[in-house]
């Protein structure tokens, strides 16, 4: 799914700006020779950009997770973000909801329903489940009567509820060993069993995933469908903060980052009149550092983000990629690096980039944005970041596949 940019204020502005009617309107489109008008126009655009950045900074996505202890809830949270943010293999004894946050996505490991402490009659109200955006119902075996009750109630409330069968890797290995079943046969059997188990409810799909081998099976589809279930800006936020396990997901991320680069550059174009959320000292370098951080985080290239991936990156190729990611952060995530890059891009290919943006943003804004070093360096960050992220993704996928094959033969 494409990131839904339709609902954002900036798109409304663009659409207004680019409709034939507004192109002719003297109020909306200042005469090129009118410098004051042009400046006002850019300030107006910059304000829209700043508002949009702020909205994105503030929006949160609440994702509720249920499932018995040991079903792999914590592992799955880590797989969704491709980082180690939740402790795996610890049995929660508190029986209270546990939050872990990644970017602006909050995952809440919910206590089991239908216990003495959390009777099902008051569960939804006491845990304020109405405030959540999406739910993942996780199992590594069968669902209980209480799970079914919860699924029905949440669905009645209009909440997106995705049913996830984790540890599919083990199921495939066992079914192969015990019965000689193919992965496809195992898929059919498990799906049928869970659907019977959940009857009379009929979820559209059962996601068969492995938190351990996230590049295989349905995890990428699950992430796409969570994204699709979320409204406008929350969908973008989820895309930004979750992992990419497919080339399609990487290009969706790129599309979003390219839009965001325009917002960052647009804000910078107002000459410091409008502050960007999260940036104290205004200036191209500060804007770029903030944007670089976003690119690196979204592509999972920061040092702490690589930790979870290490086990899949032990080959020579993998190690080279770790080094490449380190080089990326060294050149884009330091003031010094950014300064060098900005200097290098000065006077380069400015006209060509501006030309590309004019049809989207109009001549006045297009020239300012496309002509700025900030924009050019930003484009470079996105394209280099995506290349490394794709290579890492491919290497991890190769390595995960190998691992699953080894598991089957041992
Ligand atoms: N093979 C396999 N093991 C998994 C998978 N997901 C979780 N595990 C393992 O199952 C155990 C419990 O996982 P954890 O995430 O702590 O479960 P939680 O109690 O539901 O949070 C850990 O040893 C995990 O490594 C999976 O998809 N495949
Ligand atoms: Mg856990």
Among the residue ranges 16-30, 149-163, 263-277, 373-387, the one predicted with the least confidence is 16-30
Asked if residue 362 has pLDDT above 80, the reply is no
Rounded CA separation 170/174 (Å):
6
Query: 130 near 157, Cβ under 8 Å?
Result: yes
For residue 52, what is the DSSP state?
H
Task: State the fold for domain 61-234.
Answer: Rossmann fold (3.40.50)
pLDDT per residue as tens digits for the range 202-213? 999 999 999 999
- Give me ligand 1 centre to Cα 140, in Å: 9
The closest of 215, 226, 222 to 392, measured between CA atoms, is: 215
Given a cut of 90, whether residue 275 has pLDDT beyond it is no
- 203 in Cβ contact with 191 (< 8 Å): no
Identify the burial level of 321 via C-beta atoms within 10 angstroms of its C-beta, where 0-12 means exposed, 13-18 middle and 19 or more buried. Answer: buried
- For ligand 1, whether the C-beta of 385 sits within 6 Å is no
Q: 296 vs 374, which has greater pLDDT?
A: 296
| Distance from C-alpha of 300 to C-alpha of 307, rounded to nearest angstrom | 10
DSSP state of 277: T
Structural domain spans, the chain: 61-234, 246-409
- Three-class secondary structure assignment of 96-159: CCEEEEECCEEEEECCCCCCCCCCHHHHHHHCCHHHCCEEEEEECCCCCHHHHHHHHHHHHCCC
The residue to mutate among 75, 140, 173, having the most atoms of ligand 1 within 8 angstroms of its beta carbon, is: 75
Q: Which helix (H) or strand (E) holds 165?
A: strand 161-165
**Six-digit token pair at 94?**
């508190």
d(CA 43, CA 128): 42
Ligand 2 centroid to 87 CA: how many Å? 6
Can you give the pTM of this predicted structure? 0.87
For residue 373, the model assigns a pLDDT of: 79
Integer CA distances (angstroms), 52 to 11, 181, 266, in order? 10, 51, 11
Per-residue pLDDT at 131 exceeds 70 = yes
Going by pLDDT thresholds of 50, 70 and 90, the confidence category of residue 156 is very high
Q: Are strands 206-208 and 134-139 parallel, antiparallel or unpaired?
A: unpaired
Structure tokens at 52: 């949009």
- Cα 77 to ligand 2 centroid, rounded to whole Å: 9
Least confident of 47-56, 170-179, 276-285, 301-310: 276-285
Any atom of ligand 1 within 6 Å of the Cβ of 73? yes
Q: Is the pLDDT of residue 100 over 70?
A: yes
% of the chain beyond a pLDDT of 70 = 82
3-state class percentages of the chain: helix first, strand second, coil last, to nearest 5 = 60, 5, 30
> Confidence class of residue 31 from pLDDT cuts 50, 70 and 90?
very low
Residue with tokens 């590594």: 140
**Within a 13 Å sphere around the CA of 51, how many CA atoms are in the beta-carbon half?**
12
Centroid of ligand 2 to alpha carbon of 78 (angstroms):
10
**The dihedral of CA 349, 351, 352, 356: what is its sign?**
positive
Alpha carbons within 13 angstroms on the beta-carbon side of residue 95 total 9
Determine if ligand 1 sits within 6 Å of the CB of residue 212. yes
Report the nearest atom of ligand 1 relative to the CA of 91: 19
Closest ligand 1 atom, residue 87 Cα? 16
* Widest distance between CA atoms in the chain: 79
Q: For position 400, what pLDDT does the model report?
A: 80
- Starting at the edge strand that comes first in sequence, how are the strands of the sheet with 98-102 ordered? 98-102, 105-109, 61-66, 134-139, 161-165, 206-208
DSSP designation for 307: G
Q: How many CA atoms lie within 13 A of 273 on its CB side?
A: 14
Average pLDDT over all residues of the chain:
85
Res 24: pLDDT: 38
* pLDDT tops 50 at residue 359: yes
- Confidence grade of residue 30 (pLDDT, cut at 50, 70, 90): very low
């Amino acid at each position: 799914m494409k990131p839904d940019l339709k609902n954002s204020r900036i798109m409304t502005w663009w659409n207004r700006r680019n409709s034939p009617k507004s192109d002719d309107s003297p109020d909306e489109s200042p005469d090129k020779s009118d410098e004051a008008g042009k400046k006002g126009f850019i300030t107006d655009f910059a304000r829209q950009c700043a508002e949009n950045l702020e909205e994105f900074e503030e929006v949160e996505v609440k994702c509720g997770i249920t499932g018995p202890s040991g079903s792999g809830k914590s592992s799955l949270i880590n797989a969704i973000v491709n980082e180690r943010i939740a402790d795996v293999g610890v049995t929660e004894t508190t029986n209270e909801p546990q939050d872990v946050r990644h970017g602006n996505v909050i995952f809440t490991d919910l206590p089991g329903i239908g216990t003495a402490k959390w009777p099902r009659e008051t569960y939804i109200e006491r845990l304020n489940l109405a405030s959540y955006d999406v739910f993942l119902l996780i199992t590594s075996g069968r669902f209980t009567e209480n799970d079914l009750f919860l699924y029905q109630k949440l669905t009645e409330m209009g909440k997106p509820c995705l049913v996830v069968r984790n540890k599919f890797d083990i199921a495939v290995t066992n079914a192969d060993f015990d019965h000689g079943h193919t992965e496809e046969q195992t898929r059919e059997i498990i799906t049928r069993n869970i659907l019977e188990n959940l009857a009379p409810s009929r979820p559209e799909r059962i996601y068969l995933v492995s938190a351990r081998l996230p590049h295989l099976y349905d995890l990428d589809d699950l992430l796409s469908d969570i994204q699709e279930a979320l409204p406008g800006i929350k969908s973008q936020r989820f895309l930004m903060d979750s992992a990419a396990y497919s080339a399609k997901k990487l290009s969706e991320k790129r599309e979003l980052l390219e839009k965001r680069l325009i917002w960052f550059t647009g804000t910078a174009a107002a000459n410091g009149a409008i502050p960007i959320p999260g940036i104290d000292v205004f200036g191209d370098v500060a804007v770029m550092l903030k944007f670089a951080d976003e690119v690196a985080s979204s592509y999972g290239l920061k040092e702490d983000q690589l930790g979870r991936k290490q086990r899949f990156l032990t080959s020579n190729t993998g190690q080279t990629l770790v080094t490449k990611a380190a080089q990326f952060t060294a050149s884009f995530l330091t003031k010094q690096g950014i300064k060098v890059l900005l200097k290098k891009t000065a006077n380069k290919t400015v006209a060509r980039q501006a030309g590309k943006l004019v049809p989207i943003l109009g001549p006045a804004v297009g020239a300012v944005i496309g002509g700025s070093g900030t924009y050019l360096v930003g484009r470079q960050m996105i394209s280099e970041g995506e290349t490394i992220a794709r290579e890492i993704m491919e290497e991890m996928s190769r390595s995960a596949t190998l691992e699953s094959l080894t598991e089957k033969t041992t």
